[in-house]
A and B are shown apart, each in its own frame.
Chain A
């Protein structure tokens, strides 16, 4: 049964390994995946620790529905204190690793301490070993996987870091396969600091399904519905790149750092261009959507690109060249860098260069000029290997700004020290609130009510957002409004947390389409597959509990209302491009403050953004850390 999967503790300093069952009471409270990881993170760290030191932990997990008869249950989650922000570190990725780890008998691995020499962790049918990885150190993410396939067999799934993680780039990612990347918040750097090059998993331990016939029938029903939606058809043809058709056409993308909100004449990087490079689409474990292309450029295969690739190597750096998008996408995957943070840091550096804050002397002669594709590709390499200006940019927004000095920080587009997506939220208050309040820093994947962009009729919004908990206020269809938006952000926080606990892909829930899975579906999938009985409202309660423990972690590190904000440019610089409906837009400071107030109140947090004692008691968090696991 999924509920009998265990947790393995690995002490890299002493070599000790311990395996424990996961108590059912914790499953009921946190389910698994991201939620249980956050419980473990809060319980196994002390405030103020060095994120790149031995006292930090790195937690790798599968969701509770991993490798069950629930579609797209492929997600792997990695958690630690973030070396980028000092807040919650958390990243979620697709691929095949989590199901393999589940078949190997484990849902969670908690790594602590630091190895003296490079190691990899071998997880196989109930056993965990620490093995020498000196022969792997220095290899790219793809070469590491090839080497471990040679060593352990082709069926093995590998989670690995690349040179960027070894070099402690504060936004290094973890990778599985060609492009499945856990990018955000620097989890690759945490593994690198521990000397862990990779985790390899192979398992043959069956996952017994509680009610197999019903589970299969229900999954078929859901698949049939999802595959019939327009969203799934478009996503299956173009992947996330299709989003650009809406956002750049409207004027909702962060262009040349933050100077504009639209890349003009963008036809060369529109998603339809992939048709000249693709060999077809591929998907993660158990997924029907197949949202990324396998493509070739310069004789090298890779997968993607994503919407984020278009942003990072397109509008962010003023490039209008699809092959630069494809090449940049490959390089970040190859070196193990977070694509979003890399693109944002480059866009910022280009603007600093334009303003004379960075000069040729700082860049070693590299011309950081808008549209200079050679500089874009070279700068990716320099960041990964911490060479020249790349060594400064590898430190992330706040530390790099401190090193560069002058007034460089005011041009950086970040929240809590993590860069914003390559989108421009000045015309969209709901999306702006979401990035401002994210627990891991600026975040489009943990709270974004993306369907707000679709101008949905109010009755549809009510049907989506009043379940399983009703909102007493009013919704508005206009994405430029402020009313009702705090609830939409909160609702999406709960939705994404619930799906992350289950280990199912966000593209199967209410994210980019209102017609996909919600709390009721997660409740049923849990019942049929695991026997864990949680009503839709109880799934919501779990999500709220997990979200609050993330907030508690941040509070313990000193984060509060002062950090739930946007950089001044959102309030002071109006948008310059796009359709008339989005031109000249800024975020209204007073209305934004009002949204924050309502958002805190809805959460049961005080005016400083901290969970009140009553809220903690209601959620059963008043005794944390409880050290049950």
Chain B
């Protein structure tokens, strides 16, 4: 099971958290599953670490996906 957390505008039309039994090999597959365009993703975390969409994902991983955001 992997946990996928969506934030900000990525929550529109979607839930905040998904716990899925499906196997995803990497971020690209997750984006595909949720119909999220890669240009709408600014930060992709695997277990809190910045990752790219090709980094491998394994069982029990926690994924967090953010669109472009700000700071202060």
Are A and B bound to each other?
no
Mark A residues whose CB is within 8 Å of B.
none
Mark B residues whose CB is within 8 Å of A.
none
